Amino acid sequence: MKRLLIVICLLVVANVMMAKEYELSSPNGRISLKVNVDENCTYSVFLGDQQIIMASPIALELDNGEVWGKDARVRKAKVTSHSQELTPVVQRKYAKIQDDYNQLTLSFKGYSLEFRAYDEGAAYRWVSALKGEYKVKSEQASFVFPADHTTWFPEEESMFSHQEREYLKVNLSAIGSDRFCSTGMLVDCGNGVKTYISESDLMDYPGMFLKGDDQNQNALVGKFAGVVLEEKQLNDRNVKPTKYADYIAQCNGPRSFPWRALLITENDEALVQSELIYKLAPELKIQNTEWIKPGKVAWDWWNANNIYGVDFESGVNNDTYKYYIDFASKNKLEYVILDEGWYHLENIMDVVDEIDIQELVDYGKERNVGVILWVVWKALDDQLEKALDQFEAWGVKGIKIDFMQRDDQWMVNFYEKIARECAERELLVDYHGAYKPAGLERAYPNVITYEGVKGMENAKWSSLPDPEHNVTLPFTRMVAGAMDYTPGAMINTTKKNFREVFTQPMSSGTRCHQLAMYVVFESPLQMLCDNPSNYYREPECMKFLSVVPSVWDDTKVLQGKVGDYVAIARRSGDTWYIGAMTDWDARDLSLDLDFLGDGNYSMSVWKDGVNADKHAADFAQENQDVNSASKINIKMAPGGGWAAIIEKK
């Protein structure tokens, strides 16, 4: 009996000695983490004295039964500090990004855990030191909140998804394990504090969804697609997984896994200004980047090639696309897109008789306009090298690749394969039918934009997007990175008058709501979605659309509230641009121009007209002198907007 008691005491002592708590703070101390290693590994996150994330268990289970983070013994703990200035190849919010963080690395047998504390948030990831082949059976990623918070929940019905969702206001307790959403998603922690959850460095691994937890109604847990074992091609564009493995990733040798990222802000404006996802992304993987050129694009599909006032039949033909190229050239747009219809869908190498790609590329080159080709991912993959070599030979500038609608491990690797193969041929990539940005664009900056957003195309068949959705996106989807929303509608309606018209679509909200999107919405490849014939009828609006950049040197979020309104100032060179948007409520905002430098400036304004509440296309223009001491008052109609260009005198 005495021996048994001694053994029990020794086991208790051993367990106590094994249990460890580690702490990590951000450079300015704003964010702190506590990591506990015991029977389970948990982490907690604090904003000052406020606990944002309660002790949340994390683990990684391998197919051999080993569970990282369970009954683990830390071999070494190390804290390091990092500070560097990043220069994105393709600018986003800023020409330079300051990257400062402290890192805690916990080393175990065969793997390690890395935690980072930034002044704007926190992140963690698993790192494997294993050699040879192994499988990840599951990952436990959890985010336990201290109360039943409200979320903006981009609910999904299936993991076979374009991830073009509406952000539903849902309490954590109403989610449960049967409901799930794509990431990133936003949680309202009360008192103005918001927490945004997403991921970065998503490479060779499935993307993370989030579902509720039946064991804890205040928790969110990760959900991952298994490795696809079987799939069924339903038509030219939909290849649906029909059988998944009971593991989520196949691995070979040492590697890191994706970062689980938490952006924590005390005001909504800071969500828009963050570059946390980019900072966590993998470093540049290509050498020559000088050829990568952002810009604006004349787009054909949304307006159904429905040009008018011409002496030829409009449609998918060279005359129509020369008209688009001429329009782009006159308005200094860098690109045009040939969307669906230029090739026979069953064979990407079989161009329709009405199109001569080489002639269009040459015609565009003479006018400083590049050609981008839309492709279905499966048709491209079936003849990948042959097709990309042909695109390069034609002199095409990039591809818009569509309908992937998956983020299992194979498809995530396909994204990187396309980025790599296109970079070798100096081709840009625009991912449609896609998941959100998760770091690939830093490694391969020819990946210039993503869809993964319920954008303007939906107006052809849906009442969304509407102004409330539009002023939710900067604080949700756009936090992850560039989004190809495709703005620019010239037929604008009030909420009451909106109709779904597939071949002559319209937008809900005002004309200036659309113009402001070019400042508010980030996309280095920014579309002009409407009909060039309509744009020719709107020379006052083209004065703005012709000059507004698609990348920025600096960004200042002047005011904002998720789902209600946003006002952003962005600088390109010495010129500032302001875009403001509201939901279906008319709104007045007072904006300080204290971000301007010394001296006097001239401000050109596009604002909702006095009758924009009845006729949404009504707008007015004005000019005024301003300086850094100026305070301007702007008035927006329901669903309205406001845009300005500020140039130094």
Task: Give residues with Cβ within 8 angstroms of 530, minimum separation 6.
Answer: 302, 303, 488, 489, 490, 491
What is the structure's pLDDT at 507?
Answer: 98
Residue 631, beta-bridge partner list: 592
> Which residue among 549, 582, 615 closes a domain?
582
**482 plus 427 within the same structural domain:** yes
| 425 and 551 both lie in a single domain | yes
Q: How many alpha carbons fall within 13 Å on the CB side of residue 210? A: 26
Q: Find where tokens 């999904």 sit.
A: 156
Q: Which of these three, 582, 604, 628, is where a domain ends?
A: 582
Q: Clarify whether residues 308 and 260 are in a common domain.
A: no
Both tokens of 231, joined, read 């799939």
Question: Both 302 and 256 in a single domain?
Answer: no
State the DSSP string of 420-486.
Answer: HHHHHTT-EEEE-S-PPP-SHHHH-TTEEEE--S--GGGGGTSS-S-HHHHTTGGGTHHHHS-----
351 located within any domain: yes
Q: ∠ at Cα 425 (417, 253), nearest 5°?
A: 30
Across 486-600, where does the E strand assignment appear? 492-493, 507-508, 525-528, 554-561, 565-572, 575-582, 587-592
Do 262 and 305 share a domain, yes or no? no
Q: How far apart are CA 226 and CA 182, in angstroms?
A: 16
Q: Based on the fold, state whether residues 340 and 253 are members of the same structural domain.
A: no
User: Residue 347: which CATH number?
Assistant: 3.20.20.70
* Of 504, 493, 458, 486, residue with least CA distance to 306: 504
CATH number of residue 43's parent domain: 2.70.98.10
10 Å CB burial of residue 184 (0-12, 13-18, 19+) is: buried
Same domain, 327 and 391: yes
> Would you state the structure tokens that stand for residue 616, as one six-digit string?
């949404």
- What integer pLDDT is reported at residue 18 of this predicted model? 56
In-domain check, residue 286 = no
H or E segment and range at residue 328: helix 318-330
Q: Retrieve residue 485's tokens.
A: 């929303």
Q: Classify residue 1: in a domain, yes or no.
A: no
Q: Are residues 164 and 233 in the same domain?
A: yes
Closest Cα to residue 636, out of 617, 602, 604, 610? Answer: 610
400 and 541 in a common domain: yes
On whether residue 215 sits in a domain, the answer given is: yes
Q: Which residues contact 440 (CB under 8 A, 6 or more apart)?
A: 202, 203, 281, 282, 415, 416, 419, 447
Sheet holding 142-144, edge to edge: 142-144, 216-224, 208-213, 180-181, 155-156
In the chain, % of residues over pLDDT 70: 97
Q: What is the pLDDT of residue 15?
A: 40
Query: Total domain count for the chain?
Result: 2
Residues of the chain with pLDDT under 50: 1-17
* pTM of the entire predicted model: 0.96
Q: Which residues are catalytic?
A: 402, 457
Are 180 and 108 contained in the same domain?
yes
Boundary (domain end) residue, out of 547, 582, 617: 582
Has residue 129 been placed in a domain?
Answer: yes
Does 2 reside within a domain? no
> Is 10 within a domain?
no
Does 300 lie in the same domain as 160? no
308 in the same domain as 255 = no
- Does residue 239 belong to any structural domain of this protein? yes
Q: Return the pLDDT at 311.
A: 97
Domain residues for the domain of 224 are 24-266
